[in-house]
Amino acid sequence: MNRARVLLLNAALGPLDYRIPQGAEAEPGSVVLAPLGPRQEVGVVWDPERLQTEEVGDNRLRPLLHVYDLPPLRPALRRLIEWTADYYLSPIGAVLRMTLPSSSALDGARTVTEYRATGKVPDRMTPQREQALERIGERQGLVRELALAADVSDGVIRGLVKAGAIEAVEVSIDDPFPRPDPDHHPPRLEAAQQTASRQFITAVQGADFAPYLLDGVTGSGKTEVYFEAAAEALRMGRQTLVLLPEIALTEPFLKRFTARFGCEPVAWHSGLRQSQRRRAWRAVATGDAKVVVGARSSLFLPYRDLGLIVVDEAHETSFKQEEGVQYHARDVAVMRAKLEKVPVILASATPAIESRQMAEIGVYKEVRLPARFGGARMPDIEAIDLIQDPPPRGRWLAPILVREMEANLQRGEQTLLFLNRRGYAPLTLCRACGHRFQCPNCTAWMVEHRLVHRLACHHCGHMMPPPRACPECQEVDSLVPVGPGVERIADEVAALFPDARTAIVTSDTIWSPAKAAEFVGRMEAGAIDIVVGTQLVTKGYHFPNLTLVGVVDADLGLSGGDLRAAERSFQQISQVSGRAGRGAKPGRVFVQTHEPAAPVISALVSGDAEGFYEAETEARREAAMPPFGRLAGIIVSSEDSTEATETARLIGRTSPRVENMAVFGPAPAPLAMLRGRHRQRLLVHAARSLDVQNIIRDWLGKLDWPRGVRVAVDVDPYSFL
Ligand code: ADP
Ligand code: ZN
């Protein structure tokens, strides 16, 4: 009899055995539909010897309902899914879900019905309908997608369809993607670029695992170099995956890719419509999508024939997923490359200490681009001592920086002010009684967003209009903003330079690739003089006329310092500095700080990156911190504070005694409450040689806790909040 062991897309379940019906074929990797109680669930047939389950007699097996007409998931991907589940202590079904994110991609339909506005005004207009039409604009999508975008119910959209204001359109999802042409417009590489690209091309041809660290200063032309490796993969007919840390970077990437290869690559990110997602997924699986550019989730797609992986801006901590399966995309990318037997290139101007260390011990090959492309100079970085040269009261920009901005404006050059804080002010308080506005669900201040006239929690999204009177003492008009966010800096800029054209760039203003494209277009056309932005604008962009960068508060990243605070500050300020003077005109950077002598600042000013990294690396080595030791966070949370505390204590009390391992805590997490859940943390610190995952699995596996308690293990944590 024909049995199949099946992993369902269900994190709560282990593998289950089914009967393969007569005449059907279901080899490991096949995507199937299986009965589960009264329901049906999608799953994947797995190698039976790799997953244990309770033996069920042949006579009790239920038959599979359907085997989808799709290429089976390849063994390398199945091993990657197992490895990820194992390493990050996550249910394997939750990992599998990242490979098969939309079950609608599975059925063979060639078209889907989407909807869009017709421009006709319905006979009967309601506020809801008005809102829907206004927000839908040019958008097209499923009823559900439009309803979500417009923040109305599905019923409102359907009503508008009946009224003729929205119409149905058939969209083909089987249209092939255009083929990028490796010889469309090859660049003339400089000597250092040549040497680097030749190594990568040889590695792609070698079709074997080879991890590279591409360490090149900002503006050195790293992208052009790894494009040559992608071109080689294209010539061989193989697929390339390029991972980017955020979707805002996708747009400039698409443009450059198109200039080099003659058409766009296939994009994969959370902003895709269902139909786009489905088309992309199928094209990845059939091998039709030759180059995929995507956020971290594109790592788990079922590539038919992967030939190369690139992780751009590989030092970015946003590659670490902080919810669900808490994996680090950079590390999983290296593992996928190993399993697929292909080269992987980690590209960065400011590589993470973890990656540098791998290069140091010879695991990664380091390829350097020490100078900017085309003879452009690295910018000069100067510190502004905020104690000696403070801004006037109630302002945030020091006189030196303001003078530089003025001169830059007069020259017709562009300026970027960087402050990693969204909104107008990080804290609002009552002048009369000192009441501070806190999120009801989180241990966090409500952040004022003046542009949308709201107080918002950046952790859970809770919003409220700023009240006229203080809820505590009822005093009217007594609320004052404390500290600056980008909106407040933009106000200051407007007051200083009323004629300058200013843009605020944060995830509030650039929330889609289209918005990013619009911003890039305006910058390139010279329609913006001064950009005020968060970390969103610190990387990837190339604006030759941007010559002045001001870092508003260089100390911000160092406060509340965790293990990587100094490193992250250094990377962030180096990256934002790297936006200055990328073309013919030289760039200057001014860094405002209260501590000009801090190691991070003095390293930036003197340009001594090596010295800074060496000192940081030494400190990590001495403390046996990553990459010299291992960490794992254990986060216990519950809506019931007592349950959370008791469970955390139970875990602490039962911690195993293992040599070279210490368990700290439990203690209330710095974010003691998040989305209404009380949080306690423990931290496991162990020697590299220990198999921490196994120890934790055994330890927690023996314990029981109340149903409402969640225990999440964060292996190799980046957040300690
Ligand atoms: P990085 O990613 O290292 O910061 P980029 O790849 O963005 O640097 O390159 C900086 C600029 O130089 C870009 O505008 C890029 O198009 C240009 N550039 C780099 N190498 C070449 C080349 N060989 N020929 C033409 N332009 C190049
Ligand atoms: Zn909140």
**β partners of residue 158:** none
What's the pLDDT at 176? 85
> Is it the case that residue 435 has pLDDT exceeding 90?
yes
* Mutation choice for ligand 1 from 188, 222, 224, 227, CB with most ligand atoms inside 8 A: 224
Torsion of Cα atoms, 593 then 599 then 602 then 604, to 10°: -90
The alpha carbon of 588 is separated from its chain's Cα centroid by a whole number of angstroms, namely: 29
Average pLDDT over residues 183-211: 96
> Is it the case that residue 560 has pLDDT exceeding 70?
no
> Is it the case that residue 493 has pLDDT exceeding 90?
yes
* Mutation choice for ligand 1 from 223, 258, 585, CB with most ligand atoms inside 8 A: 223
Q: From the CA of 249, how far away is ligand 1's center (Å)?
A: 15
What's the pLDDT at 246? 83
Three-state SS at 273: coil
What's the pLDDT at 393? 93
**Among protein residues, the one whose CA lies closest to atom 17 of ligand 1:** 221
Q: From the CA of 288, how far away is ligand 1's center (Å)?
A: 28
The tens digit of pLDDT for each residue in 328-378 reads 999 999 999 999 999 999 999 999 999 999 999 999 999 999 998 988 888
What's the pLDDT at 269? 87
> In 54-116, where does DSSP find H-type helix?
75-87, 92-99
For residue 422, give the nearest of 382, 449, 460 by alpha carbon: 449
Report the phi/psi class of residue 138: left, alpha or beta, with left for phi > 0 and alpha for psi in -120 to 50. Answer: alpha
Distance from C-alpha of 487 to C-alpha of 65, rounded to nearest angstrom: 56
The tens digit of pLDDT for each residue in 583-593 reads 888 899 999 99
> In 168-240, where does DSSP find H-type helix?
191-206, 222-235
State what percent of residues in the chain have pLDDT above 70: 99
Highest-pLDDT range among 2-6, 36-40, 633-637: 633-637
What's the pLDDT at 1? 58
DSSP E strands in 579-656: the ranges are 588-593, 629-638
The tens digit of pLDDT for each residue in 93-131 reads 999 999 987 666 677 667 778 888 888 888 888 888 888
Report the phi/psi class of residue 199: left, alpha or beta, with left for phi > 0 and alpha for psi in -120 to 50. Answer: alpha
> CB of 223 closer than 6 A to ligand 1?
yes
Average pLDDT over residues 517-533: 94
What's the pLDDT at 170? 83
> CB of 542 closer than 6 A to ligand 1?
yes
Least confident interval from 274-288, 409-423, 623-637: 274-288
The tens digit of pLDDT for each residue in 255-273 reads 899 999 999 999 998 888 8
Q: What is the pTM of this model?
A: 0.91
Distance from C-alpha of 423 to C-alpha of 677, rounded to nearest angstrom: 25
